[in-house]
């Protein structure tokens, strides 16, 4: 083969390789599940010079060193993570559970929502489209969402969540909602678990939905997931109080109506009630996590820290600079460690996931 033919062959092979690379989709759930970080050198998705990553690595090395004055026994190595905006995207164009609620009320042909429920879902959709969520909408939406799925058995709800996980993450290309985990933060969870930290998710989202979302992605047991709760009933309970009803052999567990929204101080209350120990590490991204941060670092008998994720990447993510600036200011005032998605993350979902062109 002469030099010209060799050159042509090389160009063709290179072009094919480029073509394959550019067709690559986001990391699959299976690929995300295979992320493993046990030591500092294993991180792939963080910028090499990230000060936030180095702060975390230094912390872990210190508190896991038996010779250190800051050594923390394994049983007390508790780390708590928010979900939306901390481990998974919350802006496609809104929280996973909010978008699933709209799908249920406005687009599910098997669900006969009342005119009032449809009207409120349209109000929520309009607020999401306008990128302006009134402060009281968080609680109202949680109540409406619980109502929309009330009466479903747990297998039915699981199937609905898994189906919705397959829908495209709006505003980003090559990404499904169930794959929209931040790869660098999945590395953090893996790193902590490899160093004998017990990781909990403490989120404002629906607890059963969280368990389904996380299952198969991170090694977090269902009982280590704390979220917003709806009532849980027997299928033949028919409004009877649980003190007056005995579960029957033909009963099945079904979802009921709203109980409690797990945000702000409620996160602290639920951590104290369900974990029974003060965390030593906390990760979040918004003012809704402030109480969890403060509970972690104030009056802790162990060395502790709080990390807040800044949504400051407007190119690779659907960021919000105003919110990022506000959280950066809060971090500086309160002694939290700020993580810049723009500067600290080498990638977020993988190089083939990009912002979709504006419509």
Last residue of one domain, picked from the residues 143, 165, 187? 165
> What mean pLDDT, rounded, does the chain reach?
93
Share of the chain above pLDDT 90, in %: 90
pLDDT for position 344: 98
pLDDT for position 26: 79
Tell me the angle at which helices 115-129 and 137-149 cross, rounded to the nearest 10 degrees: 130
Q: Has residue 16 got a pLDDT over 80?
A: no
Share of the chain above pLDDT 70, in %: 92
Q: Has residue 288 got a pLDDT over 50?
A: yes
Contact in structure between 267 and 294 (CB atoms under 8 Å): no
* Number of compact structural domains in the chain: 2
Q: Has residue 204 got a pLDDT over 50?
A: yes
Domain residues for the domain of 190 are 29-91+176-230+259-344
Q: Has residue 303 got a pLDDT over 70?
A: yes
pLDDT band at residue 4, thresholds of 50, 70 and 90? Answer: very low
Does one domain contain both 103 and 211?
A: no
Does one domain contain both 115 and 85?
A: no
pLDDT for position 29: 95
Confirm whether 240 is domain-assigned.
no
Q: Has residue 350 got a pLDDT over 70?
A: yes
pLDDT in tens, 291-302: 999 999 999 999
Residue with tokens 């780390």: 79
Higher-confidence residue of 22 and 74: namely 74
pLDDT in tens, 163-187: 999 999 999 999 999 999 999 999 9
Does one domain contain both 310 and 276?
A: yes
Q: In whole angstroms, give the CA distance from residue 195 to residue 190.
A: 9
Does one domain contain both 184 and 315?
A: yes
Average pLDDT over residues 254-261: 96
Does one domain contain both 150 and 287?
A: no
Average pLDDT over residues 274-298: 98
Does one domain contain both 269 and 180?
A: yes
pLDDT for position 5: 45
CATH code where residue 79 lies: 3.40.50.1000
Q: Has residue 15 got a pLDDT over 80?
A: no
Does one domain contain both 49 and 160?
A: no
The structure's pTM equals 0.92
Maximum CA pair distance of the chain? 89
pLDDT for position 157: 98
Helix residue ranges per DSSP H, the chain: 3-23, 29-33, 51-63, 96-102, 115-129, 137-149, 154-165, 183-194, 207-214, 265-274, 290-297, 321-334, 341-344
């Amino acid at each position: 083969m002469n030099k010209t033919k060799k050159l042509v062959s090389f160009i063709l092979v290179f072009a094919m390789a480029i073509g394959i690379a550019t067709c690559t989709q986001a990391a699959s759930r299976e690929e995300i599940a295979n992320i493993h970080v046990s030591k500092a050198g294993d991180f792939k998705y963080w910028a090499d010079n990230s000060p936030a990553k180095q702060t975390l690595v230094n912390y872990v090395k210190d508190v896991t060193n038996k010779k250190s004055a800051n050594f923390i026994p394994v049983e007390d190595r508790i780390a708590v993570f928010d979900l939306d905006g901390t481990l998974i995207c919350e802006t496609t164009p809104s929280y996973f559970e909010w978008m699933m609620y709209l799908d249920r009320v406005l687009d599910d042909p098997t669900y006969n929502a009342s005119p009032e429920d449809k009207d409120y879902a349209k109000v929520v959709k309009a607020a999401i489209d306008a990128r302006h969520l009134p402060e009281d909408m968080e609680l109202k939406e949680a109540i409406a969402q619980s109502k929309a799925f009330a009466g479903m058995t747990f297998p039915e709800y699981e199937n609905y969540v898994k189906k919705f996980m397959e829908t495209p993450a709006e505003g980003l290309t090559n990404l499904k909602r169930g794959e929209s985990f931040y790869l660098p933060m999945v590395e953090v969870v893996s790193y902590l678990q490899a160093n004998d930290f017990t990781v909990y998710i403490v989120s404002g989202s629906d607890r059963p939905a969280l368990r389904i979302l996380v299952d198969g992605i991170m090694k977090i047991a269902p009982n280590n997931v704390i979220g917003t709760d709806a009532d849980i009933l027997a299928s033949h309970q028919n409004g009877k109080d649980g003190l007056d009803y005995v579960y029957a052999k033909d009963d099945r567990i079904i979802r009921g109506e709203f109980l409690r929204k797990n945000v702000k101080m409620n996160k602290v209350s639920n951590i104290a009630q369900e974990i029974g120990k003060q965390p030593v590490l906390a990760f979040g991204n918004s003012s809704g996590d402030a109480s969890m941060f403060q509970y972690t670092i104030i009056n802790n008998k162990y060395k502790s820290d709080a990390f807040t994720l800044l949504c400051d990447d407007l190119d690779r993510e659907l960021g919000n600079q105003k919110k990022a600036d506000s959280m950066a200011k809060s971090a500086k005032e309160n002694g939290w460690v700020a993580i810049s998605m723009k500067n600290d993350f080498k990638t977020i979902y993988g190089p083939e996931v990009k912002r979709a062109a504006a419509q």
